[in-house]
Amino acid sequence: MMMQFNTFSAIAMTLAVLGTAPALAQSAPPSPPPAITVTGEAQKSVAPDIAQIEAGVSNIAKTARAAAEANNVAMGKVLLELKNAGVDGKDAQTSRLSIQPQYASNRSGPSEINGYLASNLVTVRVRDVARVAGLVDTLVTAGANEIRGIGFRVADPSKLLDDVRAEAIADARRKAEVYARAAGVTLGAPLLITEDTQQGIAPMRKMVAMQSATPVAAGEETLGVNVTVSWAIKAP
């Protein structure tokens, strides 16, 4: 009876081990297919077709209320002149509104408040870049004493980027074929494609416009695409 029990136990243990073998084999991660991974690049420079101006009014008064009231009047004139110049209300948006205490320098003790600075900035979207210089002059004439900067960009870069994407893929294929020839293998179909889109917006330019016919140069904007592609290697 003892021998029979041991035989059955050995058989059971063997079956248990054999039963777990497929599970252990299935848990091992599959090996990735052989591939060549490269990055393709392409760029295109285009003239921007939209701009934005950040400008506003700042003033100092003895009290916060006086500073705010004077600022409201001045900014009202600026917004009215923008409207008279044909700027749609949806294209003018307040970007900053603040009232800050101003302190007198006092080396012998704590500084005291000697006034308040009220500031109101508005961002103006300009849908015709040829009008930027004229609108800067309009802002200054209306009383804007802060011109924080001007930025230019392409309003809808998607169609232009499609051409750049195709060029980036072609560049990736060219590089992959160079590596394939050097390694003595044949390039197959792409296994994975990832994209990094770069829209080089022209930087905001700080400026002080205190004269008519303000010179403004829109320049060009660079649209760039980087694609990383993994190409399969065909079996010999």
**pLDDT tens digits, one per residue of 99-124:** 999 998 876 767 789 999 999 999 99
In angstroms, the CA 46 to CA 210 distance is 30
Q: In this structure, what DSSP letter does residue 155 have?
A: S
Task: Let me know: does 164 contact 43? Beta carbons within 8 Å.
Answer: yes
Q: Is 131 exposed, middle or buried (0-12, 13-18, 19+ CB in 10 A)?
A: middle
Which range has the top average pLDDT, 17-21, 94-98, 209-213, 217-221?
94-98
Is the pLDDT confidence value at 192 over 50? yes
Residues 6+ apart with CB under 8 A from 214: 133, 136, 137, 140, 207
DSSP code for 202: B
β-pair type (92-104, 112-126) = antiparallel
pLDDT of 128 above 60: yes
pLDDT confidence of residue 28: 66
Is residue 134's pLDDT more than 50? yes
**In this structure, how many other beta carbons lie within 10 angstroms of the beta carbon of residue 51?**
23
- Is there a contact between 75 and 58 (Cβ–Cβ < 8 Å)? no
